[in-house]
Amino acid sequence: MAEVKIEKWVYGGAGLGRVEGQVTLVPFVLPGEEVKVEAVKSRAGLVEARAVEWTARSEDRIDPLCGYFEKCGGCHYQMAPYEFQLKQKVEIVREVFRRVGKMEAPDQIDVVAGEPWGYRNRSQFHFKGHVLGYKAAGTDKVVDVDNCPISAPAINEALKKLRALRRDKHFPRFLKEVELFTNGERTMVNVLQTEQDRGVAKGFFEWVAKEIPGAADGALEYKAAGETFRVSHKSFFQVNRFLVDAMAQKALEGAEGENALDLYAGVGLFTIPLARRFKKVTGVESDGSAARDLEFNASQASLSVEALRLQSEQYLEGCEKAPDFVLADPPRTGLGKGVVKHLARLRPENITLVSCDPATLARDVASLAEAGYKTTHLTLIDLFPQTYHVESILRLKRQ
């Protein structure tokens, strides 16, 4: 057993310290704390460890709200006050920009935050034997959960009903994973995984819908950013029910010109508001379900949007003229070399990146900086309180 002093939080949810010069990552600790640790996993120059005993605790430490904290793999920061979490996330973003992007983040990083509890409109739950809950971090063990304080009240109510239904002899025991997605009034139940990929009869969803209104719906109507969106059961939508409006507002700040391009458009959270500002808007989305929702949502709003089901790189390959404004909300993998290459070739005046991973954001921004772009604004929008996840909105201008 070794003793380590925690220097700081790093992206991924752990605290970083050093044992005989070797970087050691420890979860559920605060900067400044001193802990005795046991190694869990080692790899080149890095040790992942767990805290066994505290010899010095931080004055900032608080009691976690959730009884499952440190057991399930969902939250990482419940032992810290929310304002503390926000300040640390800003510093984490700065550190990632230095380490990955080899550049400094802007001096001013704005922070947009909301209610830190009950915010999730979408949650996934696992079945294992008689247990229904979340997976423990890094394992296949399922922690039995009857309430999740970061999930919306409608999610917890549906979870309660699902647990009761599971006691019925007619409940299919081959279910392995389900997703609950709510708009606050109706809650869709999506089966994500079954044993041996067995199909689930339509009658199951109709039966569940008697207890959980919306369980059999193929899509939900979700109101956000002053618009109404159809979100089908296979389509992505932002999970924080309190901050969707603020997110759209921040992402569209500074958007002006004749034509706009929305890459990784999803169901149109940004595309539809853009179409109210620009004469021509193109939304590009590779997922079939989301692309169909995008087209439907534009039609329902009576807006002229060119909705294309294509990979973003594939679309950009055929572009010869730069739009005035580009918004991109890529997955965790970021834009990647291909998309960055085409943006550098087209040289649009303004680019806004919406990112859920600061490391890939820093990489993409560094590449765009080499192509002549300067960061003008960076906002941290905390869509995932109590966790290490960081959402950022970054604006770039061509020099």
Dist. CA 145–CA 160, nearest whole Å: 10
Annotated catalytic residue, options 66, 72, 148, 356: 356
* Catalytic status, residue 356: yes
Phi and psi torsions of 380, nearest 5°: -95, 115
Q: Is 85 helix (H, G, I), strand (E, B) or coil?
A: helix
Question: Cα Rg for the chain, rounded, in angstroms?
Answer: 22
The token pair at 84 is 């503390």
Q: Identify residue 333 by its one-letter amino acid code.
A: T
List strand residue ranges (DSSP E) for 57-186, in order: 109-112, 122-128, 131-135, 142-144, 175-182
Tell me the helix, strand and coil percentages in the chain, rounded to 5.
Answer: 25, 35, 45
Report how far apart, in Å, the C-alpha atoms of 152 and of each of 68, 80, 122, 239, 266 are: 17, 21, 8, 10, 22
> To 10 degrees, the CA torsion angle through 225, 360, 233, 305?
50
Q: Is 253 helix (H, G, I), strand (E, B) or coil?
A: coil
Q: Pairing mode, if any, of strands 175-182 and 187-194? A: antiparallel
Considering all CA atoms of the chain, what is the largest pairwise distance in Å, rounded to the nearest integer? 66
- CA 349 to chain centroid, in Å, comes to 28
Phi and psi torsions of 233, nearest 5°: -65, -20
CA angle 297, 303, 305 (to 5 degrees): 80
Dist. CA 398–CA 375, nearest whole Å: 9
Question: What letter would DSSP give residue 120?
Answer: B
Minimal CA–CA distance to 262: which of 348, 361, 332?
348
Phi and psi torsions of 332, nearest 5°: -60, -25
CA angle 111, 12, 70 (to 5 degrees): 100
The token pair at 349 is 């005046």
Q: Is 326 helix (H, G, I), strand (E, B) or coil?
A: strand
Catalytic residue positions? 356
